[in-house]
Amino acid sequence: MGILEGKRILVTGVLTDSSIAFHVARLCQEQGATVVLTGYGRLTLVERIAKRLPEPPPVLELDVTNDEHLDTLADRVAEHVDGLDGIVHSIGYTPQEALGGNFLNTRWEHVATALHTSTFSLKSLTTALLPLMKNGGSVVALDFDNSVSYPIYDWMGVAKAGLASTARYLARYLGEQKIRVNLVSAGPLNTMAARSIPGFEELAAEWPKRAPLGWDITDPEPAARAVVALLSDWFPATTGEIVHVDGGFHSTGA
């Protein structure tokens, strides 16, 4: 038996088989869970990638900034599973105008898009699915270290700081319902999302040099394993936490 035997997990953010979310979905299935995926935009691409999982799961359309999508999400998920035990938030988007060293010149409209998609969506996704989490459960979101500033990351860094704060408040308000909310802060990985950040290679190049355990930007499995562990019952009293999976980079100085 796997550590997620019998659990029902919704995973967002599967776009390619190099994404953390894809490997989370794969490991969830390997550990005994039933998985439902959501996708946005290139839905046929998500459906094609989903076929590479051990058991091709259903794929539901979800734009986390669309109230109609959110309002109908629980009912659409309920067509495939009779409840949820876990939610994986792997959603982030920042317009190019808010990245790449343009911090001082970014307009509010671009910042608002970043915060709505990357930060507020954790709250809106979680609350949309609360009717399916009647027996408690675990919400895990993917983060990037926001304790310091990084070159080029700019307003996405601010959005991730907001994500961490959002997770803490969700943990506070959902604790009575036995719902845990935690973050996995992964080091930089060579995913499609990362490659869209100007200067990503420069940022990622520092990790193997400084991380005490080293860091492989091509291997999303360590981060995915942490997500799966937090989805399981092995962390029954952990909530509002950030688990760093970055080779220890965050703990080192110059």
Q: Which of 122, 198, 103, 203 lies closest to 160, judged by CA?
A: 122
Say whether 153 is catalytic.
yes
What tokens appear for 153 in the block? 């990351």
Helix axis angle, 154-174 to 108-115, nearest 10°: 40
Q: Which two tokens stand for residue 72?
A: 């109908």
Residue 87: its H or E element: strand 86-89
The residue count of the chain comes to: 254
Between vectors from CA 31 to CA 26 and to CA 32, what angle results, nearest 5°? 100
The token duo for 177 is 């319902």
Is the CB of residue 55 less than 8 Å from the CB of residue 37? no
* Residues of each annotated binding site for NAD(+): 13, 19-20, 63-64, 91, 160
Among the listed residues 40, 93, 123, 153, the single catalytic one is 153
Are the beta carbons of 185 and 227 closer than 8 angstroms? no
CA distance 18 to 22: 7
For residue 146, report the phi and psi dihedrals to the nearest 5 degrees: -120, 20
In Å, what is the CA distance from 175 to each residue of 107, 156, 253?
Answer: 37, 28, 35
What six digits make up the tokens of 62? 């979800």
Catalytic residue among 7, 93, 123, 160: 160
Amino acid identity, position 209: K
Which residues are known to be catalytic? 153, 160
